[in-house]
Amino acid sequence: MHSTFGQGPAALRHNAEFYLIRLIGEAYNNALPLASVGGEPIKAKLLRDHLGIDYTQSGVAFLVAKTANLIALVIFLAAGFAFMLADPRFSTAYRTVAGLGLAFFAVSILLMAVVQQARTAPLFERLTARRAEHPRVAKALAGLAQFDDQLAACYRGAPRRFVGIVLLALVTWLAGIVEIWIILAAADNPVTLQEAWVVEAAVQLVRTAAFFIPSGLGVVDGSFVLVVGIVTGSQSLGVLVAVVRRARDLLWIAAGFVAGLRYVGRSGLSRLWREGSREAG
pLDDT value at position 247?
94
The pLDDT of residue 196 is: 97
Phi, psi of 36, deg, nearest 5: 60, 30
In three state form, how does the secondary structure of 165-178 look? HHHHHHHHHHHHHH
Per-residue model confidence as pLDDT tens digits over 184-224: 999 999 999 999 999 999 999 999 888 778 777 889 999 99
116 CB contacts (<8 Å, ≥6 apart)? 63, 67, 151, 155
Report pLDDT digits (tens) over 47-90.
888 778 888 888 888 888 889 999 999 999 999 999 999 999 99
CB burial string 110-122: b at 16+ within 10 A, e below: eeeeeebeeeeee
| Mean pLDDT to the nearest integer, 4-16 | 53
Over range 14-27, report the average pLDDT.
Answer: 81
CA distance 150 to 165: 17
- For 192: left if phi > 0, alpha if psi spans -120 to 50, otherwise beta; the answer is beta
Residue 152, pLDDT above cutoff 80: no
Residues 95 and 85: beta-carbon distance below 8 Å? yes
pLDDT at 220: 92
Q: Domain map of the chain by residue range? A: 2-280
Q: At residue 141, does pLDDT exceed 90?
A: no
Distance CA 21, CA 25 (A): 6
Report the predicted TM-score, pTM, of the whole model to 2 decimal places.
0.81
In this predicted structure, the answer to whether residue 37 has a pLDDT above a threshold of 80 is no
Helix (H), strand (E) at residue 239: helix 235-264
- pLDDT tens digits, 260-271: 887 766 445 556
State the chain's mean pLDDT as an integer.
Answer: 81
Helical segments of 14-119, H only: 15-31, 40-51, 55-85, 92-117
Would you say the C-alpha torsion 23, 164, 169, 36 has a positive or negative sign? positive
> What average pLDDT score do residues 98-125 get?
80
Report how far residue 207's alpha carbon sits from residue 269's, in angstroms, rounded to the nearest whole number: 26
The single-letter code of the amino acid at 67 is T
> How many Cα atoms within 13 Å fall on the side-chain side of residue 154?
29
More confident residue, 108 or 5: 108
Neighbours of 208 (CB within 10 A): 20
